[in-house]
Amino acid sequence: MDETLTGFEAAADRLATAAPGTAQAAVAELITLAVADAELRQSVTETICRWLRGEAGSSGVAVQQRRAVLGSLTDRLRAREAPWQGVSVDLSGATLVDADFTGCRLGGAVFADTRFHGTTVFDGVTFDGEVMFQRAVFYDDASFTEVRFEGDAEFGRARFRGRADFTGAAFGGMAWFGRGTDTWWEDDEAWETVEEIDPAPWDELNEDDPHWPIAVLIEDYQDWEEGGDGARFAGDASFAGVRFDGPAWFYNARFAAAATFAGARFAGRVHLDQPSVDLSDAHWAGGTDDGRSEWPLGWTVRSDGAGGVLVPDSSIAPHTRRLADPDPSVRAAALESLDRLGDDRPELRQRVVATLCSFLRIPVPFDLHAQERTAEQTTLLQLRQQAQTLLAQRLRPGPGQWKDMNVWLCGATLVELDFSGCEGGYAEFTGAQFHGTTRFDGSRFDPATFTLDGSSGRATFHGDVLFDSEPPDGAVFHGAVTSRA
């Protein structure tokens, strides 16, 4: 038997059976073997990643040891002399603390369902292959500045609780920040292990775990009928100066704070319709081979041939772009202005409704069940109530009704929602959180969806609710449910 292989197997076994606090010695032995033999580098990396994916202790010693083990690996991936370039890592489901991959070059990477605690840094990393961060949770700030994604990058349903900084990054393939993963074909081997996936609990403020599917897509893109939630950004998000060479897919992503795409370059299909997004000096190359691009209401492409620069849409100014203003009085005026815009321009009514829905899908950053609220929190709820009221008024039959509107409120947090007597086309409430008293009596939608499949993607009612008929199957109720024929 090969002596090097025997040494590797022995060191790998010592790491797998290491007593608490002693793993670092086995890792050092494995790395020494891989430095001497390049053919062992991938196997050593997989062995260390397997250990990191194991059950994580919560003691200070356990946390420090995991941090040291990961640091030993990343030191070799970025070493000035003989770095381990092209090595792939699989840290799916791992719990990592203060992960720093700065300057590493990886063949590919899997961080699906990974829990990142502390500051996470991927600055200057090059990923030569596909990268998967779907359903990963970043509990603190995450930095991806100047990262090079040569293949597809999947961030579907990832959660960024701190700041997310992608400034200057380059996406060579698809940039996916939509729901779940991008595509699983019927013969994909991933289906064989789907039951083993253990996503982090959806323990966000004012939100219940909606149990959205891990992945159900059999096509390249999502349609609005599919419902579900995309990536969630609780803090500021920067995609300034980012280059998107492939599709940029932010369908159903939620931005709770500032979101800038200033100076970004888009080459393929784009779905980016959040009203808070800043697209100043961004450029679109006009790539439409795979469908129509969607931009936020208030932005348009000033054509210079195939594409053009994104500029504020002068034809509807000053009706839009003000929903991102820090001054609540400006946002309140913007909501009223949008309402008038839909009245004056019937062809824009559906886009106005979609913008109001996007505004209501912004996460609420404080506990709705707290005994006291600050003046700022009260004002924020008043703004959301204003948007709900405007939407309901335009859906009710009468002289001011906007007929046949589709409503997208999947994942939204709705407080004291009164949709009584409302009518419209498709209405999406998958995973929505209803707080206070909710009314749907007399409403007619075609259809109204509250779940994706049984209890999957369930809506939750945190208070009393009134329906005309039987309540939706799979939804969760924490108050009185009244149904009347």
SS (H, E, C) the chain: CCHHHHHHHHHHHHHHCCCCCCHHHHHHHHHHHHHHCHHHHHHHHHHHHHHHCCCCCCCHHHHHHHHHHHHHHHHHHCCCCCCCCCEEEECCCCEEECCECCCCEEEEEECCCCEEECCEECCCCEECCCEECCCCEECCCEECCCCEECCCEECCCCEECCCEECCCCEECCCEECCCCCCCCCCCCHHHHHHHHCCCCCCCCCCCCCCCCCCCCCCCCCCCHHHCCCCCEECCCEECCCCEECCCEECCCCEECCCEECCCCEECCCEECCCCCEECCCCEECCCCCCCCCECCCCEEEEECCCCEEEEECCCCCCCCCHHHCCCHHHHHHHHHHHHHHHHHCHHHHHHHHHHHHHHHCCCCCCCCCCCCCCHHHHHHHHHHHHHHHHHHHHHCCCCCCCCCCCEECCCCEEECCECCCCECCCEECCCCEEECCEECCCCECCCEECCCECCECCCEEECCEEECCCCCCCCEECCCEEECC
Q: Which domain holds residue 291?
A: 85-312
45 within domain boundaries: yes
Residues 150 and 216 in one domain: yes
- 166/284 same-domain check: yes
Tell me: do 36 and 106 sit in the same domain: no
Measured CA to CA, the distance from residue 293 to residue 291 in angstroms comes to 7
Identify whether residues 15 and 129 lie together within a single domain: no
- Which of these three, 258, 284, 312, is where a domain ends? 312
Do residues 123 and 230 both lie within one domain?
yes
Q: Is residue 317 domain-resident?
A: no
Residue 456 and residue 474 in contact, taking contact as beta carbons nearer than 8 Å: yes
Domain check: are 293 and 370 in the same one?
A: no
- pLDDT at site 181: 57
Whether residue 186 is contained in a domain is answered as yes
Query: How many domains does the structure of the chain reveal?
Result: 3
Residues 62 and 102 in one domain: no
Residues 302 and 331 in one domain: no
pLDDT of residue 1: 45
Answer yes or no: is 160 within a domain: yes
Are 189 and 137 contained in the same domain? Answer: yes
215 and 289, same structural domain?
yes
Query: Per-residue pLDDT for the chain (485 aa), expressed as one digit of tens each?
Result: 455 667 889 889 989 888 877 888 999 999 999 999 999 999 999 999 999 998 766 677 778 888 999 999 999 999 777 788 889 999 999 999 999 999 999 999 999 999 999 999 999 999 999 999 989 999 999 999 999 999 999 998 899 999 999 999 999 999 999 876 556 677 778 778 777 788 888 889 999 887 776 655 555 444 544 556 789 999 999 999 999 999 998 988 999 998 999 999 999 989 998 888 999 999 999 876 656 888 999 898 888 767 889 998 888 877 767 888 889 999 999 999 999 999 999 999 999 999 999 999 999 999 999 989 999 999 999 999 999 999 999 999 999 999 999 999 988 999 999 999 999 999 999 889 999 999 999 999 988 989 877 667 889 999 999 998 888 888 899 999 998 75
153 domain-assigned: yes
Same structural domain for residues 241 and 336? Answer: no
Query: Do both 383 and 399 map to the same domain?
Result: yes
The last residue of one of the domains, among 48, 81, 114, is 81
What is residue 288's predicted lDDT score, i.e. its pLDDT? 66
User: Is position 126 within any domain?
Assistant: yes
Let me know if residue 194 belongs to a domain: yes
Q: Is 267 within a domain? A: yes
Its pTM stands at 0.93
Predicted local confidence at residue 290, as pLDDT: 59
Structural domain ending residue among the three candidates 312, 337, 366: 312
